[in-house]
Amino acid sequence: MVAYVVRRLAWGVVTVLGVLLLLFALFFLYASPEQMARRAVGEKAPPDALQQWIENHGYDKPKVWNPEDPLDTLLFEHYRRMLTFDFGRSDADDSPILDQIRERAVPSLTLTVPLFVIGLVLGIVLSLFVAFFRETYIDRAGIVLAVLGMSVSILLYIIGGQFLIGKLLRWFPISGFDPNPVLIGRFMALPWVVGLLSGVGGDVRFYRTVFVEETGRDYVRTARAKGCGDGRIMARHVLPNSMIPVLTRVVVAIPFLFIGSLLLESFFGIPGLGSMTVDAIQGNDFSTLRVMVFIGALLFILGQIATDVSYTLVDPRVRLE
Amino acid sequence: MQNVVVVALLLGAFLTFRMARRNDLWRGAGRELRRRRPLALAVVLVFVVLALLDSISWIGGGSAEDEGNALARHKPRSVIDRLFPADFRERSYSAPLADVEFYGGAPLLHPRSHLLGTDILGRDVLHLTLKGARIALLIGGFTSLIVIPLALLLGISAGYYGGRIDDAVFFLISVLASIPSLLLLIALIMALGRGPVQVCIAMGVTSWVGFCRVVRGESFKLRELDYVQAARALGVSEPRIVWRHVLPNLMHLVVITFVLLFSGLVLSEAILAWLGIGIDGSWGQMIDQARDELSRDPIIWWNLAAASVALFGLILAVNFVGDAVRDVLDPRTLREDR
Amino acid sequence: MSEAVLSVRDLVTSFPIGDRRVPVVDAVSLAVAPREVLALVGESGCGKSVTAHSILRLVPRPGRIDAGSIRLAGRDVLALPVKEMREVRGRVAAMIFQEPMTSLNPVQTVGDQVVEAIRLHERLSRRAARARAAELFESVRIPDPHERIDAFPHQLSGGLKQRVMIAMALALRPQLLIADEPTTALDVTIQAQILELLRELQREFATAILLITHDLGIVNELADRIFVMYAGKIVEEGGREDVLARPRHPYTQGLLRSIPSLARRDEPLAEIPGVVPPPAAWPAGCRFSTRCPRVIERCHGEMPEMTSLSERQRARCWVVADEVGR
């Protein structure tokens, strides 16, 4: 197993190198250092100021190839800094990126972790319930509701949620964030509800399919022939055997909890990593952007490995070599 | 030019249906599908027709009323456009079937003829909504036309041929999958530009990975099947094996993926529209523009409602059809003779 | 005479095919006496498995038991509330299935699965139940029973898995063991071992067995009485000797004739012409009429009744009825 993990990590490193290259290419396809300088310093800034900014931020080097000193290129710098975790400063406001990450991680996690946990439990419980009653009216109604839920754009959930609860009923504020633990719930309630509603349809649809498939298997028939009750069958036989597809879907999502939800944070004014990323994109802030993508890629690869390892925990037939 | 594309598409669709009809499996599947979800199929068909009608456009013609109008004479107008008078705009908002403007109460140029009201620029909301169908189908259909052949090509190459090709494809898949798709999408659009074709290409690039993985896995399995090995032993050339044995066995996955991908793509575009990089004229853009209309007092609801209902209606219908397609084309139900 | 362990009367179980409901088990009656082995024989699709599943109310949706009565050890199975039915399953009657590969929970040890079977019906500590499971493993001749208890199904061969299934089924000493094609999925040599095992266990545990199979060879080994099924109906029943040596129904005769024999090895293989009609396309009248070598006019119009040939042997055939009438 250790050999497997090591091999996957090595492959992961290669992938990350590829990701960084792609990112570099994409970014410099559409943004030039002049544009970035102008955004940071100001549209009307004199050429010297722009040039100064460019030099300060090290964007005056050739992009890929420098005949005088092959190592003195933007590309090389790009790789060097990322691989040494030297995140540097944001292009937009010169703030140290690492500090920004530390500050913004908490709001993001406050949003995503409870959302994830509740969503997971809710999804599985509802799906077990619906799968248990498969082919009956409960099941059919459940599927229809799930498809209905899946078919509504998250935008509409957000707009609807903000309008209904924020404006009409005035139960919760429609946006903003307060780190005070007592008040957090109030600000998170709406994003949580919106996140849950928009996700539960797709989850139930997926889990139900998995559970129903397992319910039709021979060993379930054996369990019934032994005298197992239906509740016991769902919990002790179906669920444990469904874990592989469930884990595949779930474990990969965990690392991204850290990045936060780009959409929910932007809409609801939550100062987390997600909104920072969106700002970076719209502001051509390459420094910040590459850090976020880099972290995202790392987390993704870790998530993949974690998923594979988790398979061995739930299914004795799986062996990683 | 666009008209030619439309005709070509129709021809292609017609020929595909003819080919599928001859195959028992597909004919049976089609019948099952019609039996299970007739309503959803009908709704999807309605949208398709709307999209087609909006794709066929030409200059000139039109009613006498439009004769004097410069727009009518020089701008190509589609069948949908011609359902409405050429110069149908008001100055700004107006409620459905109203005869005065929403703000100020000045009389409208076309009182009581805007079934769904007008938006901030005075454009008829019904007209905009109908035209949105074409954009939606463009997003779902055109992008899928990029995604599916690409995923098939790379997936089969990787799964069937294996070796170096597999390593290369797998590397590509890993790299693309590691980047949060929304980020990649935005970055691509900013790099490629904001036209509809570019947006579709960007969405295509971010969506092919999932299907490709599935194709790759299936191709691995198919390669080991008895009759494929038999064909190889008989000396049948590899491309021919792929064409006659591997590809047909992936078709059911193609259909399922196409339908399920469709709704995902349209919904993604709505999010892009909110970020300001969607396709002009899409329902997502209408929703984005109508975002703060709900916070006005009195609220303006018709713009948002029309686009939302249209978007929801199409996606819901496609999802229901997609579900039924998945059930019908499940390899297990295909094999049993229930 | 003691009461029958299992008494099935005019059982009708139907499935929806297209837009109709077709009775794939069509008024089937049979009875199993204590400690008797009754073989229910027929080709694939004749309804024998569905009959077996119906006895323990295990018919999968959308199938449904429509009519008839099933009495297990004196209790009316079809009238039992679900809770009591669960007590019956495993304790009064137990079932083993055809595919040992997939009939065991892959993520649970085989020991745990047997323990579950025990503790569902008896209040035993885990320890005691485990001990009992080990004993059962010995009874079914699983080598190294105390190690095998903690094995997972994928670590066992097909034959061993089937032994585990048998152990699980006999754990509570049921009065009836329903064996649905228990050896079909196994290698021939293993088949013989499992049959041998079943025969011994049947004596040891004093269980009656309802054996579902299409293999007449197995029937010869184990059965006391034989019921032959075709297209949802019992077409012949009788003692083993009678049915195998002196079959009266044309279908049974055809089946026995089609067994390849060393004695007749220079002759072409005999076969029953045509194929078994699917439930959706059953002919009117006798369902074997389209393939029967002795068919008469009456067969096409009327479903034959059972004709008694002796105290124990009966056949459902107009030609036989005529013969007896004379």
* pLDDT over 80 at A274, yes or no: yes
DSSP assigned state of A60: T
**pLDDT score recorded for residue B64:** 54
Q: Measured between alpha carbons, how far is B332 from B309 in angstroms, rounded to an integer?
A: 36
**pLDDT score recorded for residue A262:** 81
Q: CB neighbours of C150 closer than 8 A, spacing ≥ 6? A: C109, C111
Backbone angles phi, psi at C210, to 5 degrees: -105, 110
For residues B282 and B273, the answer to whether their CB atoms sit within 8 Å is yes
Chain C residues close to A229, C-beta within 8 Å = 86
Helix (H, G, I), strand (E, B) or coil at A14: helix
For residues A153 and A181, the answer to whether their CB atoms sit within 8 Å is no
Chain B residues close to A167, C-beta within 8 Å = 294-295
First vs last C-alpha separation in chain A: 6
* pLDDT over 60 at B334, yes or no: no
Q: State the ipTM, two decimals.
A: 0.88
Locus of tokens 């006798």: C286
For residues C219 and C211, the answer to whether their CB atoms sit within 8 Å is yes
Task: Compute the average pLDDT of residues A219-234.
Answer: 92
DSSP assigned state of A96: B
CB contact under 8 A, C103 and A237: no
Chain A residues close to B191, C-beta within 8 Å = 26-27, 29-30
- Measured CB to CB, residues of chain A less than 8 Å from chain B are 11, 14-16, 18-19, 22-23, 26-27, 29-31, 143, 147-148, 150-156, 159, 163, 167, 205, 256, 259, 262-263, 277-278, 281-282, 289, 292-293, 296-297, 300-301
Q: Find the residue in C nearest to A240 (Cα).
A: C107
Backbone angles phi, psi at B66, to 5 degrees: -85, -10
Q: Find the residue in B nearest to A301 (Cα).
A: B178
Q: Measured between alpha carbons, how far is C252 from C243 in angstroms, rounded to an integer?
A: 8
Query: How near does any CA of chain A get to the CA of C93, in Å?
Result: 9
Chain C residues close to A312, C-beta within 8 Å = none
Q: Find the residue in B nearest to A159 (Cα).
A: B291
How sure is the predictor about B170, in pLDDT bands with cuts at 50, 70 and 90? confident
First vs last C-alpha separation in chain B: 48
How sure is the predictor about B335, in pLDDT bands with cuts at 50, 70 and 90? very low
User: For B247-292, how does the pLDDT look when each residue is reduced to its tens digit (9 = 90+)?
Assistant: 888 887 888 888 888 988 999 899 888 877 888 889 999 998 887 7
CB contact under 8 A, A300 and B177: yes
Backbone angles phi, psi at A73, to 5 degrees: -130, 160
Backbone angles phi, psi at C179, to 5 degrees: -115, 105
Q: Which tokens hold the place of C3?
A: 């009461």
Percent helix, strand and coil across chain A, each to the nearest 5: 75, 0, 25
Backbone angles phi, psi at A171, to 5 degrees: -80, -40
The A residues from 128 to 167 touching C (CB cutoff 8 Å) are 134-135
User: For B223-235, how does the pLDDT look when each residue is reduced to its tens digit (9 = 90+)?
Assistant: 777 888 888 888 8
DSSP character string of A129-176: HHHHTTTSHHHHHHHHHHHHHHHS-HHHHHHHHIIIIIIIS--S-SS-
Angle CA A78–A79–A85, to nearest 5: 95
Pairing outcome for strands C225-230 and C37-41: parallel
DSSP character string of C104-133: S-TTS-HHHHHHHHHHTTS---HHHHHHHH
Query: How near does any CA of chain A get to the CA of B136, in Å?
Result: 13
**pLDDT score recorded for residue B336:** 41
The A residues from 227 to 246 touching C (CB cutoff 8 Å) are 227-229, 236-237, 240-241
Q: Measured between alpha carbons, how far is B272 from B141 in angstroms, rounded to an integer?
A: 17
- The single-letter code of the amino acid at C55 is I
Q: Which tokens hold the place of B239?
A: 């491309």
Q: CB neighbours of B256 closer than 8 A, spacing ≥ 6? A: B322, B325, B326, B329
**pLDDT score recorded for residue A66:** 67
The C residues from 47 to 76 touching A (CB cutoff 8 Å) are 56, 58, 60-62
Q: Measured between alpha carbons, how far is C80 from A188 in angstroms, rounded to an integer?
A: 51
Chain A contact partners (≥3 CB pairs within 8 A) = B, C
CB contact under 8 A, A241 and C102: no
3-state secondary structure B269-311: HHHHHHCCCCCCCCHHHHHHHCHHHHHCCCCCCHHHHHHHHHH
How sure is the predictor about B338, in pLDDT bands with cuts at 50, 70 and 90? very low
* pLDDT over 70 at B158, yes or no: yes
Q: What parts of chain C have a pLDDT lower than 70?
A: 1-2, 326
Q: CB neighbours of B155 closer than 8 A, spacing ≥ 6? A: B169, B211, B212, B213, B214, B215, B216, B218, B219
Report which of residues B333 and C303 the model is more confident about. Answer: C303
For residues B150 and B169, the answer to whether their CB atoms sit within 8 Å is no
Q: Which of A153, A198, A289 to mutate to test the interface with B (most CBs of B within 10 A)?
A: A153
Task: Compute the average pLDDT of residues B310-334.
Answer: 82
Q: CB neighbours of C60 closer than 8 A, spacing ≥ 6? A: A216, A221, C53
Query: How near does any CA of chain C get to the CA of A240, in Å?
Result: 7
Helix (H, G, I), strand (E, B) or coil at C271: coil
For residues A246, A251, A256 and A257, what is the CA-based torsion angle, rounded to 10 degrees? 90
Q: Which tokens hold the place of B197?
A: 């074709």
The strand pairing partners of C6, in sequence order, are C32, C72
User: For A186-212, how does the pLDDT look when each residue is reduced to its tens digit (9 = 90+)?
Assistant: 778 888 888 899 889 888 988 988 898
Pairing outcome for strands C37-41 and C64-72: unpaired
CA-to-CA dists, residue B92 to A229, A282, B165, angstroms: 65, 30, 58
For residues A288 and A91, the answer to whether their CB atoms sit within 8 Å is yes
Give the nearest partner residue to A229 out of C86, C106, C152, using CB atoms: C86
Give the nearest partner residue to A237 out of C94, C95, C105, using CB atoms: C105
User: For B96-148, how does the pLDDT look when each residue is reduced to its tens digit (9 = 90+)?
Assistant: 887 888 888 788 888 888 888 888 888 888 989 999 999 999 899 889 888 99
**pLDDT score recorded for residue C230:** 92
The strand pairing partners of C178, in sequence order, are C95, C210
Percent helix, strand and coil across chain B, each to the nearest 5: 75, 5, 25
Backbone angles phi, psi at C18, to 5 degrees: 70, -125
- The single-letter code of the amino acid at C103 is S
CB contact under 8 A, A19 and B178: yes
For residues C227 and C210, the answer to whether their CB atoms sit within 8 Å is no
Q: Measured between alpha carbons, how far is A150 from C70 in angstroms, rounded to an integer?
A: 46
CB contact under 8 A, A147 and B190: no
- The single-letter code of the amino acid at B32 is E
For residues B202 and B188, the answer to whether their CB atoms sit within 8 Å is yes
DSSP assigned state of A178: -
For residues B287 and B308, the answer to whether their CB atoms sit within 8 Å is yes
DSSP assigned state of A124: H
Q: What's the farthest any 2 CA atoms get from each other in chain B? A: 82
Q: Find the residue in B nearest to A302 (Cα).
A: B178
DSSP character string of B27-94: HHHHHHHHHH-HHHHHHHHHHHHHHHHHH-EESS---HHHHT-HHHHHS-EETTGGGS-SS---SS-B
Pairing outcome for strands C93-96 and C176-180: parallel
Q: Detail the DSSP E strand segments found in C130-200.
A: 176-180
User: For B58-107, how does the pLDDT look when each residue is reduced to its tens digit (9 = 90+)?
Assistant: 776 655 555 555 655 677 788 888 888 777 788 888 888 878 888 887 88
Q: Which of A88, A80, A107 is nearest to A181 (CA)?
A: A107
CB contact under 8 A, A167 and B178: no
Q: Which tokens hold the place of A107?
A: 């709001």
First vs last C-alpha separation in chain C: 33
Give the nearest partner residue to C120 out of A217, A219, A226, using CB atoms: A226
Chain C residues close to A237, C-beta within 8 Å = 105, 108
For residues B280 and B196, the answer to whether their CB atoms sit within 8 Å is yes
Chain A residues close to C103, C-beta within 8 Å = 218-219, 221-222
Chain A residues close to C87, C-beta within 8 Å = 227
Q: Measured between alpha carbons, how far is C17 from C15 in angstroms, rounded to an integer?
A: 6
**pLDDT score recorded for residue C326:** 65
**pLDDT score recorded for residue B123:** 87
CB contact under 8 A, C103 and A218: yes
Chain B residues close to A151, C-beta within 8 Å = 263, 312, 315-316, 319
Average pLDDT taken over every residue of chain B: 82
Q: CB neighbours of B194 closer than 8 A, spacing ≥ 6? A: B277
**pLDDT score recorded for residue B337:** 34
Q: Is the pTM of this model over 0.80?
A: yes
Q: Measured between alpha carbons, how far is C167 from C260 in angstroms, rounded to an integer?
A: 34
How sure is the predictor about A321, in pLDDT bands with cuts at 50, 70 and 90? low
